[in-house]
Amino acid sequence: MQYINQQSYEYIKNKYHDTGKPFDPYKRFIRHDEIFSPDSGMAPEDIIEGITENDAIYAELSHPVRKARALEYVLKNTRISCDGRDIFPAINMIDRPLSKTIIKKWRDEVFTETIPDVEARRSQLERDGIVAISPDYDHSVPVWDRLFTLGFSGILEESEKARASKSRTEEEDAFFEGIKITYEAVLSFIDRLNAMATAPKMKSALASIRRGAPQSFYEALLLSYLYFMISEHIDNLQVRSLSGFDTSFYKLYKKDIENGVPEEEIRSDLAYYFLQFTAIGNYWNQPVYLGGENEDGKAVINELSYLFLDTYDEMGLYNPKIQIKVSDSTPRGILLKALDMIRRGRNSIVFVSDKTIRRAMERAGVSPEDARLANITGCYEYSSQGSYCSGMNYVNLMKPLEYALHQGHDGVTGVMAGLDCTPPSGYGSFEELYEEYKRQLTRIIDVTVDTVNGFESYLSVINPLSMLSATFPSCLEKAKDAIGGGGCYNGSIMTFGFLGDITDSLMMIKKYVYEKKELTLSDLVSILDKNFEGEELFRRKLLADRGKWGNNKERPDAIAVDLVNFIVKNLCGRANSRDDKWNCGFHVARMSYTQGKLTASSANGRLYGEELSKNISASMGQNREGATAAILSATKIDATDFTCDAALDLGLLPSTVKGEDGLEAMYGLLTSFCRRGGHALHINVFDADTLRDAQAHPEKYQDLQIRVCGWNVLWNNINKEEQDGFIRQAEALV
């Protein structure tokens, strides 16, 4: 691997888990004990025990202080390593020891003792596949620029200054004390690392970031890495962006270059940095973004942006994942570079429209400057710097239809989970059914709001976020935890999944039951209840119908847009319990699989348990009119009506996007998407595995196109032998 020698590469690959053993990326936060010397700290099991014992000493104190003491205990005692094969240290206790001990305890206390009814409702909603809700300790981004300009010690000083600026209540003082203990523990931890480090580069960098702000590009990387590791892996708070990299790291990059640091060294440092995240290997990947605009309206993109992408590209990595904020001023060159990477299979890149994000935020009352500086916070979500918006509330849009068709009962379990309503025979028109659907959906929104509001005010009790809060100016000013309403914005997001499947299901009911009158709604419900058993031809008919969402067809698109507008109207602006408002988004994370398993067969021909549609994309295999039609449909949704995501997944084949023409076409798709007000675009160039699956399950891949010679054909229109040829070609792709 370029920039990293083989020995180092092997070491880092095994730094976070033993690659010789089976690794489940879905298992969150594991350790690799064997690489640590027992002399470097306490055994992991003893630390776990010790956290609880240590906490007993502080039992009378506030949670921020107790958590800070627990973090301090871990940082003081965890085994560490500063191996010469790496330029970043290793920490043993990265399996979230606090979440197994005190945070678990506080969580149990809150959910089982303080608000058991809320928890009962939450778990019921999840079990029934209606809404998957979890307390959101996942969407934080520190104000990186403050960390880079102040360093850990400067952050601490600022906090202490704020603490001393006025008289404080006991609660306020505890907030600042939590920060003080936390940051002092971080500084002492850096001392520990420094004492162990032997490589001059690491040693002097540790000494420097112990003193204050990082002074070089590498020091900034090191600070970023340590903040990330401590927050995400010990302090129980995910760091959902490593910053707008070409903004936050640029000054120090320039300084290094001016000071004569060879560019190759900077590339190598970056390569080591990237590899840490690849080696951690969690399925959710580590986000970092590029691009956006400066104050003067010019693109942020600079030589560091290119160096970043080049290095990433040359290493052939998939993690961290990269978002690019695209604006009118974004240079064509960087987009072509990114698109070229995607078509070569380096497709961990998502494009987000800067214009759409800014307009959505400004419409929601965010200042233009805050909107310009918005972070990309996770997959496609965005938020102001110094804000904490929660959003782990995934509504299954298919369930309200199950209830409307089953007098309030779940279509899978038969349990009464919705509102009582008329039997199918009672709906005189599609409009009546649709109204009932909306009534059932409204109730789900109501219950979700109540449930989430019921526990979100306790989030800072369960897991106070001293480390993060210290980086938020508004938290210092308000003396309030970032997750307890201390952020400059503190919204809550509900995300609605499977717009494609619900639109298509409603559309098929409208067409075949109420317009063509080919069967009654009661007949259809019986067919669905039997999971289409004995009705395969009818199912095929539904699947073959081209009047589906994602194909720029007027009728289905009108339903989808109406549904989105209904959700926006119904939810956005409601009060949450952290002094802010609710908003909505449309991403599904892994819910298309997990909630899909709990969702009955549907009127668009989907079988019980099958995968549901992703984000705002067409349902599986139903984007039959190709990429342009998919974009035309998706951008009928006004993504500035809400302040979360509306991401479109586009599947393209390598043969479609090959050559100069192919790259230009990708650029055209992206530019049109942004121009039309789209929010996020993920272009997926399919690999051999997908094609093999497409061969085995053609019905799922009706929209898959393939470029043959002078034309594109649908995958399903060529025979097996021809498909085999393409699979072989795809296998040859690196």
Partner 1 sequence: MTAAIFEIKRFAVHDGDGIRTTVFFKGCPLRCVWCHNPEGLTAIPQTAHYSHKCIGCGECKKEGFTPEDCLGEATVLYGKEMTVEELLPILLEDRDFYETSGGGVTLSGGECLMQADFCAELLKKLKENEIHTAVDTCGFVSKESLDKVIPYTDVFLYDIKAYDEEVHIKCTEVSNRIILENLAYLDSLNKKIEVRIPYVPDYNDDQIEKIAHFLAPLQSITKIRVLPYHNYAGSKYKALDIVNTLPEKLPTDEEIKIAVETIKKLTNFVVLS
Q: Which residues bind partner 1 (CB under 8 A)?
A: 536-537, 540-541, 544, 552, 625-629, 631-632, 656-657, 659-662, 664-665, 667-669, 671-672, 675-676, 698, 705, 707-713, 716-722, 725
The least distance separating partner 1 from the CB of residue 540, rounded to whole angstroms, comes to: 4
Shortest Å distance, C-beta 153 to partner 1? 49
Nearer to partner 1, 32 or 707 (CB): 707
Residues with Cβ < 8 Å from 65, sequence gap 6 or more? 58, 174, 177, 178, 181
Supply the minimum distance, in Å, between the C-beta of residue 541 and partner 1: 5
Query: Pairing relation of β-strands 321-326 and 349-353?
Result: parallel
- CB 91 → partner 1: shortest distance, Å? 47
What DSSP state is assigned to residue 590?
T
Based on CB atoms, which residue is closest to partner 1, 65 or 727? Answer: 727
State the sign of the Cα–Cα–Cα–Cα dihedral 341, 345, 346, 347: positive
**Closest CB 526 distance from partner 1, rounded Å:** 20
Three state DSSP letters for 317-355? CCCCEEEEEECCCCCHHHHHHHHHHHHCCCCCEEEEEHH
Nearest Cα to Cα of residue 700 among 595, 615, 618, 629: 618
Q: How many angstroms separate the CA atoms of 400 and 435, rounded?
A: 11
Determine if the peptide bond prior to 287 is cis (ω within 30°). no
Taking the complex as a whole, the smallest distance from the CB of residue 714 to partner 1 amounts, in Å, to 9
Nearest approach, Cβ of residue 556 and partner 1 (Å): 15
Between CA 688 and CA 695 the distance in angstroms is 10
- Which residue number, 569 or 728, has a Cβ lying nearer to partner 1? 728
CB of 414 to partner 1, least distance (A): 31
Minimum distance between the CB of residue 605 and partner 1, rounded to whole angstroms? 11
Q: Euclidean distance between the first and final Cα of the chain, in Å? A: 14
Q: State CA 84 to chain mean position distance.
A: 34
Residue 174, classified by CB atoms within 10 Å of its CB into exposed (0-12), middle (13-18) or buried (19+), is: buried
CB-CB contact of 645 with 334 (8 Å): no
Q: Which two tokens stand for residue 503?
A: 């639109």
CA dihedral sign of residues 548, 550, 554, 559: positive
Phi-psi sector, 281: left (phi>0), alpha (psi -120 to 50), beta: left
Task: Output the smallest distance, CB 332 to partner 1, in A.
Answer: 11
Distance in angstroms (rounded) separating the CA atoms of residues 519 and 340: 49
CB hemisphere CA count around 311 (13 angstroms): 24
Chain centre distance of CA 309: 21
